[in-house]
Amino acid sequence: MPPSSDSSKPEAAPAPLALLDRDHSILAFNERVFDWARREDVPLLERLRYLCIVSSNLDEFFEVRAAAHLEAAGGRGSDGPYTPASFRALSEAAHDLVTRQYALFNDVLMPAFARERIQILSHSERDAAQRAWVHQYFEREVRPLLVPTGLDPAHPFPLVANKSLNFIVQLNGRDAFGRENDIAIVKVPRVLPRVIRMPDKLSGGRTLAVLLSSVIRAHLSELFPGRQVGQFSQFRVTRHSDLAVDEEEVNNLRTALRQGLEYRHYGQAVRLEVSASCDVHLADFLLQQFKLPELALYRVHGPVNLARLTQLVDLVNERRLMFPEHKPVWPLGFPVDGSLFERLREGDVLVHQPFESFDAVLALLREAVHDPAVLAIRQTIYRTGSDPELMGLLREAVRRGKEVMVVVELKARFDEEANINWAEMLEGIGAQVVYGVVGLKTHAKMLLITRREGRKLRRYGHLSTGNYNPRTARLYTDLSYFTSDGKLTEDMEQVFVHIAGQSRLAPMAKLLVAPFHLQKAMLERVAAMGEAAAAGKPARIIVKTNALTDEQLVRALLKAGQQGAVIDLIVRGACILPAQLPGVSDNIRVRSVVGRFLEHTRVFYFCQGEEEQLFLSSADWMSRNMLRRIELAWPVSDPPLRQRVIDECLVPYLYDGCDAWTLGPDGRYTRAEDCIGPDGLRHSAQLALAQRFAYPRGL
């Protein structure tokens, strides 16, 4: 029968708009970082550093994101976004980026270094004296640490650690027992430097270096006396490294994670890198050993780990080939001398890092430690790095008899071991250490100090968009917010109580807390802007975040934009919202700013007519941040401080014409070259801020 023409039959709902692919968006971000390595206006050592950053980012991408694609490529679980086709598309994009990385390294950067009389010498380029020195270095420093493994039934393929340097060697002739085992593996210990500087007396006024892989390659035959070395290749395998611990099934999370760290280096193989000249037979043998498909093989024209070439930057350390040194200024909101507590009683203080110094955070903690009126210090620890000053202050606080509570996030990816060590040290001296809430990461950044003032207790708080890490505070843009506001610090107190006691979170006066309120509050504010626009009122949304991958928030933004709200999104990394799609997202612009400093501030701005709301946050607009982490967002209510955030963190980035990229509806980014200042020039937001804060105080 023909289909019914009954017009009363409801039409099928249209399929939801397909959003952009998150993993391709991550690779697109690395393309923008790679562009800094290509830029001729960037100092040479910094170009190499950016190239190394791309390689390090790709390592983490494969360690965290590749396993699901591989599973789908092997026919194991092809539901959702992971399919054989997605694996092929992602692999092609990654292969293309890696190929261009090595082309830039070999054809552009190395010749540029040679013109500066800086060179990495291959074996064929070394003269007799240099070869003799390399041989002595090999015999003294390298050979004693190498134990080649010849493969046979009694010597199976060795367990190769994640991202370690190794060699595969094909041997001719027979071994000491008359057998023809023809494959050997040489594992290279991590303790050996990858870049070795040659003595000045052999360098002829130049800066010369050799790679560890080149040193070993030149002496492979000496590792196999009585055998002939045939084909060989360096290789490196990348493994899935995202620790998974079922917190419901373990009695001690710290112990379980420490045990898990022992196996992280030996997880599922996800990528294999070999020399471009690697024999097909050897490459196929390695793929078989690691159970990897052909697309997981990366043939590279150079060292298999470009990320380790940051050692060359440190060896050369030539200031004229680096960015001018950036020196953060002491925060303008705090006195150079005098009590920070006294200043905070007058009002809140905002510190914009790295233009203003992170030292203010340490100064506040230092004052609290040495002030006998301070009774308690509570702090979250996510990534502190190896700098001991902050932990030293907490230790001193315990020694002075103050109540110290530290929430240590043991599951901070790739910082687990450092955080476990800090936790054990603090516990060992009597601090109260807790590990957050089961099933949630504690990503909130807060420091709370309780001080006796007369007959009352007063709290002083610090909230931040970034980590308590003095090193990254010089490299990342972040906002530190200092306050003695009673409502805000009471909220912070209740969050600490909730984390430690697992009790129900008390109602909040000012803080928005994930996973309880934050996503809902942002959805409500986005919807309110859309409704205002639909009613004919001016409505504006500006969100600055590191990533935008939460589907609920993305679809809410799309709807608000369709209702007439004007939306600007400043998203440094992955973004799944297709901007400027006709009829769908015409009112939404997405920009990414990739500059000298890593953009890290999270700012959420909503304006309806004359009414403004602005929030700072530790959270990106990602599902994991909204639903699987303890995160904080807090309002900036003081009008001058709110205007300062707008002037420093939003407006300059919306008009950046040097370091900004614009996202198109197809997921491609193009340079934002349409932003020209009143002087007819394009300006960098970060450079403008650095220059603004470099002026002498008071001008």
Please report the DSSP string for 94-122 in residue order: HHHHHHHHHHHIIIIIHHHHHHTTEEE--
Kindly report the number of other CB atoms within 10 A of residue 634's CB atom. Answer: 23
pTM for the model:
0.91
H-helix or E-strand spanning residue 553: helix 551-562
Cβ–Cβ under 8 Å, residues 28 and 667: yes
Cβ–Cβ under 8 Å, residues 197 and 120: no
pLDDT digits (tens, 9 = 90+) for 264-308: 577 899 999 999 999 999 999 999 999 999 999 999 999 999 999
Q: Whose CA is closest to 603, among 524, 525, 522, 544?
A: 544
Alpha helices in 198-331 (DSSP H): 212-218, 253-264, 280-290, 310-316
Cβ–Cβ under 8 Å, residues 437 and 364: no
Predicted confidence (pLDDT) at residue 202 exceeds the cutoff of 50: yes
Sort strands 446-453 and 432-434 into parallel, antiparallel or unpaired: unpaired
Predicted confidence (pLDDT) at residue 210 exceeds the cutoff of 50: yes
Kindly report the number of other CB atoms within 10 A of residue 519's CB atom. Answer: 22
Please, is 105 exposed, middle or buried when counting C-beta atoms within 10 Å of its C-beta (0-12, 13-18, 19+)?
A: buried
Binning pLDDT at 50, 70 and 90, where does residue 221 land?
very high
Q: What is the DSSP letter of 160?
A: P
pLDDT for position 174: 67
Coil, helix or strand for 243? coil
Q: Whose CA is closest to 227, among 301, 286, 150?
A: 150
Please, is 540 exposed, middle or buried when counting C-beta atoms within 10 Å of its C-beta (0-12, 13-18, 19+)?
A: middle
H-helix or E-strand spanning residue 48: helix 44-73
Alpha helices in 172-279 (DSSP H): 212-218, 253-264
Q: Whose CA is closest to 131, among 218, 221, 228?
A: 218
Residue with tokens 């950044």: 445
Binning pLDDT at 50, 70 and 90, where does residue 155 land?
confident
pLDDT for position 247: 46
Residue 249, token pair as written in the block: 């099934």
Residue type, 56: S
- Max Cα-Cα span within the chain: 94
Buried-state track 409-418, b at ≥16 Cβ within 10 A, e below 16: bbbbeebbee
Peptide bond into 14 cis (omega under 30): no
- The whole-angstrom separation of Cα 573 and Cα 23 is 11
Predicted confidence (pLDDT) at residue 695 exceeds the cutoff of 60: no
Kindly report the number of other CB atoms within 10 A of residue 550's CB atom. Answer: 24
- The whole-angstrom separation of Cα 101 and Cα 105 is 6
Cβ–Cβ under 8 Å, residues 657 and 672: yes
Mean local confidence (pLDDT), 617-627: 96
Binning pLDDT at 50, 70 and 90, where does residue 251 land?
very low
Predicted confidence (pLDDT) at residue 17 exceeds the cutoff of 60: yes
Mean local confidence (pLDDT), 629-646: 96
Predicted confidence (pLDDT) at residue 566 exceeds the cutoff of 90: yes
Q: Tell me the CB-side half-sphere exposure of residue 80, using CA atoms within 13 A.
A: 9
459: which residues sit within 8 A by CB, 6+ positions away?
448, 449, 450, 451, 484, 486, 489, 490, 492, 493
Predicted confidence (pLDDT) at residue 263 exceeds the cutoff of 80: no
Q: How far is CA 340 from CA 374, 461, 486, 624, 641, in A?
A: 13, 11, 17, 35, 18
Catalytic residues: 443
pLDDT for position 635: 98
Beta-sheet strands, E only, within 309-390: 349-353, 374-381
Task: Please report the domains of the chain, with CATH numbers, ordered by start residue.
Answer: 22-321 (3.30.1840.10), 340-509 (3.30.870.10), 514-694 (3.30.870.10)
Among 76-90, 114-128, 246-260, the minimum mean pLDDT is found in 246-260
CA 112 and chain centroid, separation: 29
Peptide bond into 354 cis (omega under 30): yes
- The whole-angstrom separation of Cα 237 and Cα 188 is 13
Q: How far is CA 467 from CA 373, 380, 390, 480, 686, in A?
A: 27, 9, 12, 10, 20
pLDDT digits (tens, 9 = 90+) for 420-459: 777 777 778 878 888 766 678 888 999 999 999 999 999 9
C-alpha torsion sign, points 624, 642, 526, 671: negative
- The whole-angstrom separation of Cα 494 and Cα 572 is 32
Tally of residues, the chain: 699
Computed over every residue of the chain, the mean pLDDT equals 89
pLDDT for position 670: 96
Angle at 417 between CA 468 and CA 432, to 5 degrees: 60
Predicted confidence (pLDDT) at residue 697 exceeds the cutoff of 80: no
Strand partners, 630: 442
Among 304-308, 424-428, 490-494, 519-523, the minimum mean pLDDT is found in 424-428
Predicted confidence (pLDDT) at residue 215 exceeds the cutoff of 90: yes
Predicted confidence (pLDDT) at residue 97 exceeds the cutoff of 80: yes
